[in-house]
Amino acid sequence: MTDQAFKLTDGQIAQFIAHGHITVTPDLPREFHEEIFAQHEEVFAKEGNPGNNLLPRIPLIRQIFDHPAVVGALQSVVGDDYYLQPHRHPHHNPANSKGQSMHQDGGKRWSHRTRYLLAFYYPQDTPLERGPSGIVPGSHYFNTPEGARHDRETPLTTPAGTVTIVNYDLWHRAMPNRTDHHRYMVKFLFARMSEPQAPSWANDRADWPGIEPTFADDGPELQKMYAHIWHWHRGKGIAALPAPAASPEDLLPLLAADDERAGIAAAYDLAGCGTEVVSALIDLLYEDSATTRRHAAYALSAIGAPAVEALGAALSRTDPVARADAATILGDIALAAAPATDALIAATKDPEASVRQRTAEALGTVAPDSPAPAPCLIDGLGDEDVAVRTAATLSLCRLGPHAAEAVAALEGALNDENRYVRGNALFALERIDTPLAKDTLIKHLMPARWCPITSPESTF
C-alpha cells in the first residue's frame, strides 16, 4: 500500500473522470531526467528505438514508475494491484517534425469505466514549440472526432520529469516539433486487475463533487454520466440512476442520433428507467447501425444487474455481433453479472472468434474470485486466434490464485508466438503465487534475463 499522502484527492479524481487526465511530478532532481534524456539520445542514435525492451535498456526509467507520487496516482485511479502491461514505447518526436494525426490507442473500447490507463513521462522540458503531446480533455467518452471535439486540443506543455496519467481512450497526438532538438515521451500501459470495492484514493465525500466549468464538460447533459462513473470508482458497483424527465418512447430514438453527445446522454437517461427498457435495448443490439448498438450498450451497462438475465440469453442468439456485444456488456457490468458466469463459460466455445474473445475477457471481471472460469480460459490459451489467447491470459491474471490449475498451460503460453500472450502469462503466474507458479516463473526468467549493460560496443 502507498502512503495516503501520495493518493489523489476527490478534486483530482473528479478531474480525471471528466477530463481523462491528471499530471503528477515526482520529486527527483533535474540531473536524473537529464541522464535519462542523454541515454535516449545514445540508444536511438546507436541502436534505434528499443520498443518494449525500454526498461532493460534504460533501467533508470523504472525509478519514475516506482516513485510514490506516481504509484499513488496510479493506485488512486486503477486500484492498488494494477498491472504494468508488457507494452511500453519511447515516442521519439524528431526535430522539425510535422507531428501526428489525432487518434485513440488500440481502437476504441466502448466502456466508460476505467480499466486501462496510459502514462506519459517526459525526460526534457516540453514547451509548445518542441512538439508536446496534444490531448482533447473529455474526449475519452467519444468514438468520433465530432463527439470528441478535436478543435479543443490542449498541449501538455510540461517541465522535465512530469508524468501525465491518461485514460486509455483519450484522443491524443504528437504535435509538430518546430525546434532543432529531439523530444522524447515514454508511454506505459496499465490495466486494472480488481473491480473497485471501495475508494482507492483519499476520498472524503460520497456524492459527485462536480468540476470547475471548462469546455470539457460544457452543458449539463454529461453530468449524470460523470456521477455514474464516480460512484463506480467508489466501489458502489453500478448505482441506480435517477428516472429521466422524458419518456422511454422519446429517448430510445435518440440513441441513433448523429450527435454523439446527445446519444450518450440519452443512454444514461434511459438507464434510469431500469428493467422497463431492457427488452427494447436488447433488440437494438441487432440494428445495422454501429452507433445505435453502441449507445444501447452504454445504457444496458449502466442499468447493470436488471439487464443481466436478458444479456445472458442474448449470448445464444443467432447474430454473432450481438453475441459479442452481450458478452462485452456483461464484462463491463462485471461483478453484478456473476449470475451469467455459466452462460459466458458456455459461450467460450462459440464458433466466432470475436465472441470467444469477448467472453474470455468478460470472465476476468465477472467472476475474478471463482475458479469456475479457469478450465475454459485454459482452453483459450490454445485457441487459434491470438486475440482469444490474449484475452484468456489477461483474465487468468485477474483470477490470480483462483487459477492455480492453469500453471502448466501458462508455462506453455510462455512460448506463444505473440509477445503479449507471453507477457500476460508471466504476470498470471506471478498473481497465482503458488510455489509451483513461482518455480515455473523463475525457470523461465533465468535464461531469458536481459543484461542492461550489454551493447554492440560491449558484447561480453
Last residue of one domain, picked from the residues 191, 226, 243: 191
Q: DSSP character for 385?
A: S
- Output the pLDDT for position 217: 59
User: Dihedral of CA 359/364/366/370: which sign?
Assistant: positive
pLDDT at 213: 62
| Tens-digit pLDDT string for the chain (460 aa) | 556 789 999 999 999 999 999 999 999 999 999 999 999 999 999 989 999 999 999 999 999 999 999 999 999 999 999 999 999 999 999 999 999 999 998 755 678 999 999 999 999 999 999 999 999 999 999 988 888 888 889 999 999 999 999 999 999 999 999 999 999 999 999 999 999 999 999 999 999 998 876 665 566 778 899 999 999 999 987 767 888 989 999 999 999 988 999 999 999 999 999 999 999 999 999 999 999 999 999 999 999 999 999 999 999 999 999 999 999 999 999 999 999 999 999 999 999 999 999 999 999 999 999 999 999 999 999 999 999 999 999 999 999 999 999 999 999 999 999 999 999 999 999 999 999 999 999 999 988 877 777 777 787 7
Q: What is the pLDDT of residue 453?
A: 76
Q: Are residues 103 and 25 in the same domain?
A: yes
Residues 6+ apart with CB under 8 A from 373: 341, 344, 345, 363, 364, 367, 395, 399
Domain boundary among 329, 353, 377: 353
- What pLDDT is attached to residue 457? 77
Residue 172's pLDDT is: 96
HEC letters along 414-425: CCCCCHHHHHHH
Q: Are residues 166 and 22 located together in one domain of the fold? A: yes
Residue ranges making up the domain that contains 373? 368-451
Residues 315 and 445 in one domain: no
Looking at the structure, tell me whether residues 22 and 127 fall in a common domain: yes
DSSP string, 105-131: TTS-----S--EEEEEE-SS-B-TTB-
Q: What pLDDT does residue 226 have? A: 93
What's the half-sphere exposure (Cβ side, CA atoms, 13 Å) at 372? 17
Residues 6 or more apart whose Cβ sits within 8 Å of residue 22: 8, 12, 15, 16, 73, 77, 164, 165
Nearest to 333 by CA among 307, 294, 370: 307
CA-CA distances (angstroms) from residue 350 to 215, 317, 319, 388? 44, 11, 12, 11
Within-domain flag for 148: yes
CATH of the domain at 381: 1.25.10.10
Q: 222 and 340 share a domain? A: yes
Domain boundary among 319, 353, 387: 353
pLDDT at 218: 61
Are both 127 and 231 inside the same structural domain?
Answer: no
Instruction: State the DSSP code for 103.
Output: B
HSE-up of 342 (CA within 13 Å, CB side)? 3
Residue 203 covered by a domain:
no
| DSSP alpha helix (H) spans, 195-241 | 223-233
Q: How far apart are CA 153 and CA 376, in angstroms?
A: 44
Query: How many Cβ atoms are within 10 Å of 34's Cβ, its own excluded?
Result: 14
Q: Kindly state whether residue 197 falls inside one of the protein's structural domains.
A: no
Q: What is the CATH number of the domain that holds 131?
A: 2.60.120.620
Residue 359 in domain:
no
CB atoms within 10 A of CB 160: 18
Residue 107: predicted pLDDT: 59
Regarding whether 135 and 224 lie in a shared domain, the answer is no
Do 287 and 428 lie in a common domain? Answer: no
**Are 401 and 432 within 8 A, CB to CB?**
yes
132 & 18 share domain: yes
316 C-beta neighbours (distance < 10 Å), count: 12
Q: Is residue 459 part of a domain?
A: no
pTM of the model: 0.94
Tally Cβ neighbours within 10 Å of residue 3.
Answer: 9
Give 338's Cβ-side CA count (13 Å radius): 10
Does residue 458 form part of some domain?
no
- The reported pLDDT for the residue numbered 451 is 78
In a domain, 199, yes or no: no
Q: What is the rounded CA–CA span in Å between residue 320 and residue 419?
A: 28
Q: Based on the fold, state whether residues 38 and 94 are members of the same structural domain.
A: yes
Same domain, 384 and 264: no
Residues 36 and 151 in one domain: yes
Number of domains in the chain: 3
Instruction: Determine, yes or no, domain membership for 36.
Output: yes
C-alpha–C-alpha distance, residues 311 and 114, integer Å: 22
Q: At CA 43, angle to CA 37 and CA 49, rounded to 5?
A: 100
